[in-house]
Amino acid sequence: MRTFTRRTFVGSALAGGAALVAPSLAGAARRPAARAAGTPADSRIDVLLDEPIGTIAPEIYGHFVENLGGVVYDGVWVGERSRVPNIDGVRRALVEALRPIRPSVVRWPGGCFADAYDWHDGVGPRDRRPRRTNFWADDANFRDVGIVPQRYDPNQFGTQEFLHFCRLVGAQPYLAVNLRSLPARSFVEWVEFCNSPAGSTTLADLRAAGGDREPYGVRYWGIGNESWGCGGNFTPEEYAAEYRRFATWTVPDYGVGLRFIGAGPSGGDVDWTRRFFAALDGRRDLGRMWGWALHHYSSPPSGGALQFDAPAWYGLLASGDLMESLITRHWQVMGERDRERRVKLVVDEWGAWYEMTTNVDPTHLFGQQSTIRDAVLTGLTLDTFNRHADKVAMANVAQLVNCIHSLFLARGDQFVATPTYHVFAMYAAHQGAQAVRSVVTSPEIHYATAQNETRTLRGLNGSASRRENVLTLTVTNPDLSEPREAEIAVRGGAIRSARATTLTSRDVHDHNTFDAPRTVVPAEAEVAVSASPLAYRFPAASVTKLEFALGG
Ligand code: AHR
């Protein structure tokens, strides 16, 4: 869990202010440019169709809705009697924006909130549900917001409302279980409420009374969250004992094929992974575990979501690019005990996390704006997952709306999609496709930190996938000022036609607002395919999707 205190925010806002924006960035107008004829290439991308990696699980394009700040109340749930257009209480604009990007899976109710939540509070008639103090009520960033649903939870959005939301947007539910403050029995009952056959149990009848006679068939269950921190402050051995108690014998499957997800490490804490797997060793089924959760938040060395200079731009992206080594390091350690590779990685919290200075409403704890910097981070992270399609089975960006690294901002009847949303829309083409290896050669970026130390970040990077005769290649260019001239070769196939979708912005600080919702939106264009390899210019600070029709 990241904590930014109010003191941090005030301090950096005063210290930096407008001066945080380096003169070289302020007002810089940058547009994608067509590659000039004869411009020499500085980069090369080889897509190797004959080197498959694995199927890209649609669940990699998953989301996270925690009962935190403005995510649920004001974000997802407005209530049936709201003046905000809604479908059975769920914000209609959100549903309509989500459907086309195929959200695959949504995690709920937390996060840290999950280990304080009793699911019984959120079922049955809404007017009889208890009000409870939200886990986040006392967060240092959350003072002075009064008695609001974000702080005193009215439990209007419970299991059935969440499952209806999932159904509306076509996503699978992923429920996070309270391991810190409820007994395993409560977990078993939650599974029974969700999955026991119609008419079979008292809890199935309770579900039917709420309008859902048929079971939901919930497959994904997270056994605790951040159990090294807000989820109980356990040691890996203590958590392994708790995990075993919750997951091993107690839970009937109801023919669903339950998939349990263990609360894995924060960032590079391989000790947590190693010791947990060692503690479960000797169990053939590794405690029925299907996924091992990894959390990684990226932060710049200074500055907020909108005020940043070049060191903060590159620092944030370098922090995000650690995802590559986090995946490979934890995967290697998991393999020391899980030789049959039963357990996959589930990166169920990731995103950029800034000091809270740009939330659109004071009740939106951890709310933040989003620029092309966040879009590039989104692209490079999703590309990393695609390249490790054999290891990563699910990922959930934190969080869907009004929070860290959100796809949407909403307040009352106002609603806007962020640049991050547009990257998810562009990358949806990868879902369920076959990831294939690509080799990218591109100049590294050498940048100076605020302390004038030189650091290196890789230049162009991306991922490729194939579905029948369509090849999707997505590429990020993290360079603030240099476009990249690339040659693109497809080994094992020929490009018949190509179409590009590009997300970039005139100024890297541009962002979408309720009043100007289309400041940062993608542009589509046909690409002339006249030579092989194909010559293509990737604009500075951009995310690009190239879709190739293949033949031959
Ligand atoms: O996403 C916000 C919080 O960050 C989650 O509740 C917690 O799991 C993580 O620390």
List, for residues 144-179, the tens digit of each pLDDT value.
Answer: 889 999 999 999 999 999 999 999 999 999 999 999
Query: pLDDT value at position 34?
Result: 43
Answer yes or no: is the C-beta of 368 below 6 A from any ligand 1 atom: no
Please report which residue ranges of 196-269 form alpha helices under DSSP H. Answer: 202-209, 236-247
Q: Is the peptide bond before 172 cis (omega within 30 degrees of 0)?
A: no
What pLDDT band is residue 30 in, cutting at 50, 70 and 90? Answer: very low
| pLDDT attached to residue 37 | 53
Pocket test for ligand 1, best of 295, 347, 368, 401 (most atoms within 8 A of CB): 295
Please report which confidence band the pLDDT of residue 39 belongs to, taking 50, 70 and 90 as the band edges. confident
Statement: residue 38 has pLDDT above 80: no
552 falls in which pLDDT band (50, 70, 90)? low
Q: How far is the CA of 202 from the centre of ligand 1 (A)?
A: 34
Best mutation site among 299, 348, 349 for ligand 1, i.e. most ligand atoms within 8 A of its Cβ? 349
Determine the pLDDT at residue 281. 76
At residue 532, the pLDDT reads 84
Lowest mean per-residue pLDDT among 18-27, 114-123, 541-550: 18-27
If you measure from the C-alpha of residue 226 to the centroid of ligand 1, how many angstroms do you get, rounded to a whole number?
8
Give residue-wise pLDDT tens across range 453-502: 999 999 999 999 999 999 999 999 999 999 999 999 999 999 999 999 99
Distances (CA, A) of 29 to 307, 314, 541: 17, 19, 12
The radius of gyration of the chain's CA atoms, rounded to the nearest angstrom, is 23
Answer yes or no: 226 catalytic: yes
pLDDT of 4 strictly over 90? no
pLDDT of residue 256: 96
Question: Does ligand 1 lie within 6 Å of residue 225's CB atom?
Answer: yes
Task: Tell me the HSE value of 180 on the side-chain side, using a 13 A CA sphere.
Answer: 23
Q: Look up 444 and say whether it is catalytic.
A: no
Instruction: Give pLDDT, residue 202.
Output: 98
Q: Give me the mean pLDDT over the 101-127 stretch.
A: 98
Q: Is 109 in the pocket of ligand 1 (CB under 6 A)?
A: no
Question: Which atom of ligand 1 is nearest to 2's Cα?
Answer: 10
Give the distance (Å) from ligand 1 centre to CA of residue 192.
27
Contact between 511 and 369 under an 8 Å Cβ cutoff? The reply is: yes
How many other β-carbons are positioned within 10 Å of the β-carbon of residue 339? 8
- The answer on pLDDT for 123 being more than 60 is yes
Range with lowest mean pLDDT among 82-86, 278-282, 346-350: 278-282
pLDDT at residue 10, rounded to an integer: 24
522 Cβ inside 6 Å of ligand 1: no
Atom of ligand 1 nearest to the CA of 266: 10
Catalytic residue chosen out of the listed positions 66, 161, 324, 349: 349
5 or 500, which is more confident: 500
Q: How confident is the model at residue 524 (pLDDT cuts 50, 70, 90)?
A: very high
Ligand 1: does its nearest atom lie under 6 Å from the Cβ of 139? no
pLDDT-based confidence at 17, cuts 50/70/90? very low
Q: By CB neighbour count within 10 A (0-12 exposed, 13-18 middle, 19+ buried), where does 201 fall? A: middle
The SS3 of residue 61 is: helix
- Residue 531's pLDDT is 82
Pocket probe mutation, ligand 1, options 66, 354, 396, max atoms within 8 Å of Cβ: 66
What gap in Å lies between CA 89 and CA 77, rounded to an integer?
Answer: 6
The atom of ligand 1 lying closest to the CA of 226 is 8
If you take atom 8 of ligand 1, which residue's CA is the nearest one?
111
- Helices 202-209 and 184-195: angle between axes, nearest 10 degrees: 60
Q: Is residue 112 lining ligand 1, measured as CB closer than 6 Å?
A: yes
Residue 442 has pLDDT above 70, yes or no: yes
Instruction: Give the percent of the chain with pLDDT over 70.
Output: 93
Residue 87 predicted with pLDDT over 80: yes
Q: Give the predicted TM-score (pTM) of the model.
A: 0.93
Q: pLDDT at position 205, please?
A: 98
Indicate whether 16 pLDDT > 60: no
Q: Whose CA is nearest to atom 4 of ligand 1?
A: 1
pLDDT digits (tens, 9 = 90+) for 183-198: 999 999 999 999 999 9
Say if ligand 1 is within 6 A of residue 115 CB: no
Summarised one tens digit per residue, pLDDT across range 309-343 is 999 999 999 999 999 999 999 999 999 999 999 99
Residue of 189, 226, 324, 487 marked catalytic: 226
* Residue 324 CA to ligand 1 centre (angstroms): 21
Strand-pairing partners, residue 289, are 260
pLDDT at residue 283, rounded to an integer = 72
Query: Which atom from ligand 1 is nearest to the alpha carbon of 398?
Result: 1
349 lines ligand 1 (CB under 6 A): yes
Q: What percent of the chain shows pLDDT beyond 90? A: 88
pLDDT band at 24 (very low <50, low <70, confident <90, very high): very low
Query: Measured from the CB, is residue 398 less than 6 Å from ligand 1?
Result: yes
| Residue 351 near ligand 1, beta carbon < 6 Å | no
How sure is the predictor about 365, in pLDDT bands with cuts at 50, 70 and 90? Answer: very high
**Mean pLDDT taken over the chain:** 92
Please give the average per-residue pLDDT across 258-270, as a whole number: 96
pLDDT in tens, 215-249: 999 999 999 999 999 999 999 999 999 999 999 87
Residue 26 has pLDDT above 90, yes or no: no
The rounded distance, in Å, linking the Cα atoms of 298 and 305 is 12
pLDDT surpassing 60 at residue 2: no
Please tell me which residue, 344 or 1, carries the higher pLDDT value: 344
265 closest CA partner among 318, 300, 224: 224
CA distances from 158 to 109, 163, 525 (A): 9, 9, 44
Query: How far apart, in whole angstroms, are the C-alpha atoms of residue 333 and residue 336?
Result: 5
Helix, coil or strand: residue 71: coil
pLDDT band at 14 (very low <50, low <70, confident <90, very high): very low
Specify the pLDDT at position 64.
Answer: 98
